Amino acid sequence: MKTNRRAGSLTALLIAFIIGIGFPATATAETPEQDGLAAYSDTELTELFGDAGVSGNDIAGLIAKIRSGEVPDSMQPDSTPTEESTEEVKGSYVTVYRYADGSATTVTSTSGDQADDPKPGTITTQAIAVKGVGCSSKKTSGSTTTYTGCNVQAAYLIGTAKFKFDGKRSGGKFTITRVYGGGCNYLTKCGSPKIVRKTSSSSQHAQAEMAVHGSPIKGVGWTQHLLVRVTNKGVMTAYGDYKYIK
C-alpha cells in the first residue's frame, strides 16, 4: 500500500538534517553489548526509537517486543514492509516503509536531476532512518564545483552512524576525494569509512561506505553498510545498506 502523507515531527527533523544542521542529541549511556537494547530503560528506548523515526504510537509495542527478546521486523533481513508513504521535503524525497510491528525504515534521496544518470534502483534496507546528505560548503570555480563536509547519516533502531566526505564535480564526472569523521553511538559500532568507487561514470556512481555493526538482542548479531552514491551530476543519495540496492 502506498500513500502520500505529511508527518510533522519527522518532516521537521528531516529538513534540519538535509540542510546540514545535524542530528538531535541522543543519550550517550554505555550499555553492555551482550544485553542489547534490553539493557536500556524505557525512557532511553523511547528517545532512541523516536530519534530513529518510529511513530510515537508504536514505541510502547516495540519496547515490549524488545523486553520479550524478539528482534523488531525492520532489523530482520526477510521481513517486508506492510505500508509505504512518500513525501517531498525541500526538494528531497522521503520514503517511509512501515512494518507489521510498527518498526520503520526511512530513506531520503537528495534533490537533483537524474534524468541522464543511472538510477539508484529499488531500495530494501534495514536502516530505520537514513537522513540524507548535506554539505557544509559548495564552491564553483570555472567548470569545477568543490564540495566539503558532506554528511552521510543514518539513525538505525539500535543507534546512529555517520561519516563525512569531500568531493568535486568537473568534466561531467564526480570524484570523491576524501572520507573521514566516522562515528557511532548506542549499540552501533563503526568500521573506518572508505572510498569504494572514486569517480563516477556514465554507468556507475561514485561511492563511499562504512560498515556498521551491532547486537539488537542478546546473542543476535547485525551488520549494515551506511553508504553514499553520487551521480555524474552531483546528485547524492544515502542508503542504510548497499546489499539491499537492486
The answer to whether 159 touches 187, Cβ cutoff 8 Å, is yes
Residue-by-residue pLDDT tens, the chain, 246 positions: 444 443 444 443 343 333 333 333 333 334 445 578 888 999 999 988 887 778 899 999 999 999 999 999 878 877 777 877 666 666 555 666 778 898 876 665 554 333 333 333 333 333 334 445 668 778 888 889 999 988 887 778 888 888 999 999 999 999 999 999 999 988 889 999 999 999 999 999 999 999 998 888 888 888 888 888 999 988 888 787 764 464
Q: At what angle do helices 42-51 and 56-67 cross, to 10 degrees?
A: 130
In the prediction, which pLDDT does 174 show? 95
Q: Which 8-state DSSP code applies to residue 72? A: P
Q: Which amino acid is at 165?
A: F
Residue 52 C-alpha from the chain's centroid: 10
**Residue 170 to residue 1: CA distance in whole angstroms:** 41
What are 238's strand-pairing partners? Answer: 228
In the prediction, which pLDDT does 78 show? 76
Q: What is the DSSP string of 195-209?
A: EEESB--SS--EEEE
Q: How many domains does the chain have?
A: 1
Q: Which of these, 206, 205, 211, 199, lies nearest to 240 by C-alpha position?
A: 211
The answer to whether 230 touches 176, Cβ cutoff 8 Å, is yes
The answer to whether 72 touches 103, Cβ cutoff 8 Å, is yes
The answer to whether 175 touches 186, Cβ cutoff 8 Å, is no
Q: Whole domain around residue 124: which residue ranges?
A: 2-244
The answer to whether 244 touches 172, Cβ cutoff 8 Å, is no
Which grid coordinates are listed for 124?
Answer: 530494501
In the prediction, which pLDDT does 165 show? 93
The answer to whether 200 touches 207, Cβ cutoff 8 Å, is no
